[in-house]
Structure 1
Amino acid sequence: MEELYGAADRERLVPEPPKRVDAPERRPFERDRARVVHAASFRRLAAKTQVVGPQSDDFVRNRLTHSLEVAQIARDLSRALGTHPDIAETAALAHDLGHPPFGHNGERALDEVAAACGGFEGNAQTLRLLTRLEAKTESAGLNLTRATLDACTKYPWPLAGAPVPGGVHADGTSRTGAKFGVYDDDRPAFDWLRTGAPGRRRCVEAQVMDLADDVAYSVHDVEDAIVAGRLDLTRLDTAAVWGTVRDWYAPDATDDELDDVLARLRRVGSWPRSPYDGSRRSLAALKNLTSDLIGRFCGAVQQATFAAGDGPFVRYRADLVVPADTWAEITVLKGVAAHYVLQDDERVALQERQRQLLVELAEVLLDRAPDELDEAYVADWHAADDDAARLRVVVDQVASLTDASAVAWHRRLC
């Protein structure tokens, strides 16, 4: 499949000299994957919120474990389609790098803070990290190939071209900010990576990454909720859950339609017939369910995509096809997790405190910069030529923090 990707796909923004002759032989997309895995921002995901805080439970997923699971799903689906698995896996590993402390909740707070410099968006921040902030190649971040960077671009447009926000994020926070993939001052790198792209269309590798993300959190949020004792799949309050599904994801869905979707899911052989009790047998059964659901969703997408065209399923030569029934099943699982986990009153109150903490931290850093900034951001501060650029530096600093370090910085400075 390597031969399906040409020289332009393998090109890097900054040309690199040949590697040492005694170094292990790795192809360009393999190098991309390694660079993301070794990035500081990738390690920090271990201490950043996925749905609930990483310090709240030994079992609960954090941004790092979620990213690893998304990467596995993306790699398997990509291989099945004949798309380059290293590209899809790297995009999945990188897809949440730009998330600030406290997940989408923190994203919402920083978007308000950054209003004067073009807002904040986790996907645009990911591109900024990959092409500027991560220290691998001066002025070019990790200096990934064009094909990999394009696969990392979930929303290939700037703020000015973003659709009107609506709905909710995976963790239940409202989509108050527009979804976009590049800040205005990162347009040179964005324009380079989108060379040859047809308008706002996403490459098929980015579509694989995005679907893998949806599949992972729809299934794994349910798994986490069951183990935490918040959800029993054998006793669902469907009337209440369907209300959440309509409020959050599918406003036009009827009770009958949602009942049919749940009935299909219950026919999955590993769907539980008795409550989870914490035993190894029960945990094994739950793992079988998550595996079966992921296989069910990805298998349906693979079949539909093959049925829609002959391929090759590379870059802009094809699109991923997600059957309506499959998307409905993913949506119902999201709604189940949302109802039993994400609407908890204590969690809503905690999110309000977290947003206030980030706003206060950004304000005090802006007042005291550059003295309180990490050294890398001190250099960015001195290089900034106006107030908006200096505000962006402060936002970059806050976004880089983990949940725990944001709390510690706030305690020290505020």
Structure 2
Amino acid sequence: MTGSLISPRVDYASDPARSRGRFQIEPESRTRTPFQRDRDRIIHASAFRRLKMKTQVFVAHEGDHFRTRLTHSLEVAQIARSVARTLGLDEDLAEALALAHDLGHPPFGHAGEDQLDECMEAFGGFDHNAQTLRVVTRLEQRYPTFDGLNLTFETLEGLIKHNGPVLKNGKRMQDLPQAFLDFEHLEQLDLDTYAGPEAQVAALSDDIAYNNHDIDDGLSAGLFTIEDIKDVPLVGRIFHQVQKDYPLLDRQRVISEAVRRLIGVWIEDLTAETSRRAKRLNPKSVEDVRNLNEPLVAFSEKLDAEQKELRRFLMERMYRHYKVNRKRSQAKRILKELFGLFLSEPDTLPPPWNETAQQMTKDARARVVCDYIAGMTDNYAIDEHRRLFNLDAMI
């Protein structure tokens, strides 16, 4: 057996014993740290369960091979745990953030988000990160004394700063999505700083997972071939090396082995670059990490450039493939028609949504309709549309 790969805890790791706590005071758990408790609350949330039938690129009924938001979140969590362990950070916080980062996504992936944002243009817009905050602070209703999950400051901070400081590049409070502004404690989350290191790890673990698993899903769907990606930097080299190492290996195993190696390359680069930055920037505490002028956790410039080339390839050959565009178009029409109907006829919403919506102004009702639609799975949205727009499908 070789020595342990677990790094000793670093000074700038988030310490659960020094958590800034929760906005609703609760007794501490006798058996779990605050971050472990956050993770467990996320796993038991209704919104987390619904991720099993929400997709990213494909639609849930197109096949059970393709990744859903749930399997993606589990893959992100595995990567985040591994990276956090290697860097000496808090694994539980990194895992909690990875599991929660997609809770606000609507059905039909980015097509659904684009359509809901269009529908909500006059009512404060729609943003999936802001909707995640809304889910965990308001829409989950499981506890007797508060709405939401009452997560710690560190978890909430990591969710809203998934893409870095919220107030940056001249952005002001009034420029933020309405779902952010509706959270009464928003300004206490230090919007102009970076998140802690575990949140940064979870965000880039998301990149690692979707970059590499979209290669797998795109190849499996026949949207492009191994030959097509031979000129993509890094990716083409890895596939070539696998085929050289195993010339008789069948296609699916070539794909699996190449993706496995690629994930390893991304993780090794991330941990190496972050270690270099930690040595150069020398943070002594998690607050030092928050107040840096650049992220602590990052890919190297070389890998980042290669990653951009991969994204350009996937955008052209996968995300804008005509088959995907047809599904996007169909999905957007479904959500647009559902939104329009529910907004104008709130009595068609199921209880208790209809009871709430019928008593509201149009602006307030739009947010309720948006919440209802955003919580749908792909299949539920399709079935709900069929029930409402096809007479022969009425129940």
**TM > 0.5:** yes
Deviations 1:156-177 (A, max 9, x none): 53799659xxxxxxxxxxxxxx
Retained in 2: the 8 A contact 1:225–1:231?
A: yes
Report the alpha carbon displacement of residue 322 of structure 1 after superposing the two structures with TM: 1.8
Change (3 A) 1:328 1:312: same
In structure 1, the residue corresponding to 2:102 is in which secondary structure?
A: coil
Retained in 2: the 8 A contact 1:158–1:184?
A: no
Q: Which amino acid aligns with 1:212?
A: S
- Please give the alpha-carbon distance, in whole angstroms, between the structure 1 residues aligned to 2:191 and 2:27: 31
Q: How does 1:74-89 map to 2 (within 5 A)?
A: 74-89=80-95
- Please give the alpha-carbon distance, in whole angstroms, between the structure 2 residues aligned to 1:102 and 1:18: 38
Q: Which amino acid aligns with 1:206?
A: A
In structure 2, the residue corresponding to 1:183 is in which secondary structure?
A: helix
Report the alpha carbon displacement of residue 378 of structure 1 after superposing the two structures with TM: 4.5
Matched, 1:317 2:284: no
Retained in 2: the 8 A contact 1:52–1:60?
A: yes
Matched, 1:273 2:243: yes
In structure 1, the residue corresponding to 2:183 is in which secondary structure?
A: helix
**One of 52, 61, 77 as aligned partner of 1:55:** 61
Unmatched segments (≥5 aa) in structure 1:
164-178, 239-260
Report the alpha carbon displacement of residue 315 of structure 1 after superposing the two structures with TM: 3.9
Q: Which amino acid aligns with 2:185?
A: A
- Please give the alpha-carbon distance, in whole angstroms, between the structure 1 residues aligned to 2:186 and 2:191: 14
Structure 1 segments of 4+ aligned residues over 6 angstroms from their partners: 158-161
**One of 217, 227, 240 as aligned partner of 1:224:** 217
Matched, 1:211 2:204: yes
Q: Which amino acid aligns with 2:323?
A: E
Change (3 A) 1:159 1:321: closer
Retained in 2: the 8 A contact 1:157–1:182?
A: no
Deviations 1:286-336 (A, max 9, x none): 322222211111211211211222456864433113211111222233333
Q: How does 1:253-332 map to 2 (within 5 A)?
A: 262=233, 264-268=234-238, 271-273=241-243, 282-310=251-279, 315-318=286-289, 319-332=296-309
Change (3 A) 1:379 1:312: farther
Matched, 1:381 2:357: yes
Matched, 1:358 2:318: no
Matched, 1:190 2:186: yes
Q: Which amino acid aligns with 1:114?
A: M
Identity of aligned residues (%): 35
Report the alpha carbon displacement of residue 283 of structure 1 after superposing the two structures with TM: 3.2
Report the equivalent of 2:365: 390
Deviations 1:254-288 (A, max 9, x none): xxxxxxx72x44444874438x99x9854334322
Report the equivalent of 2:226: 233
Q: How does 1:130-145 map to 2 (within 5 A)?
A: 130-137=136-143, 138-145=145-152
**One of 377, 387, 390 as aligned partner of 1:412:** 387
Q: Which amino acid aligns with 2:387?
A: R
In structure 2, the residue corresponding to 1:325 is in which secondary structure?
A: helix
Q: Which amino acid aligns with 2:92?
A: D
Q: Which amino acid aligns with 2:84?
A: S
- Please give the alpha-carbon distance, in whole angstroms, between the structure 1 residues aligned to 2:142 and 2:167: 25
Deviations 1:117-154 (A, max 9, x none): 21001110000001111123454401111111111222
Change (3 A) 1:272 1:54: farther
Change (3 A) 1:112 1:269: closer
- Please give the alpha-carbon distance, in whole angstroms, between the structure 1 residues aligned to 2:105 and 2:336: 16
Change (3 A) 1:57 1:371: closer
Which segment is superposed worse, 37-46 or 3-12? 3-12
Retained in 2: the 8 A contact 1:72–1:89?
A: yes
Aligned positions, number: 365
Retained in 1: the 8 A contact 2:270–2:299?
A: yes
Deviations 1:348-390 (A, max 9, x none): 1331222121111011112222552342x35653785x43222
Report the equivalent of 1:176: none
In structure 2, the residue corresponding to 1:136 is in which secondary structure?
A: coil
**One of 116, 120, 128 as aligned partner of 1:122:** 128
Report the equivalent of 2:26: 16
Q: Which amino acid aligns with 1:218?
A: N
Matched, 1:334 2:334: no
Q: Which amino acid aligns with 2:184?
A: P
- Please give the alpha-carbon distance, in whole angstroms, between the structure 2 residues aligned to 1:332 and 1:231: 16
RMSD, matched Cα: 3.1
Report the equivalent of 1:173: none
Report the alpha carbon displacement of residue 64 of structure 1 after superposing the two structures with TM: 0.9
Report the alpha carbon displacement of residue 70 of structure 1 after superposing the two structures with TM: 1.0
- Please give the alpha-carbon distance, in whole angstroms, between the structure 1 residues aligned to 2:68 and 2:322: 21
Retained in 2: the 8 A contact 1:36–1:94?
A: yes
TM-score, normalised relative to structure 1: 0.79
Q: Which amino acid aligns with 2:179?
A: Y
Q: Which amino acid aligns with 1:150?
A: E
- Please give the alpha-carbon distance, in whole angstroms, between the structure 1 residues aligned to 2:191 and 2:223: 45
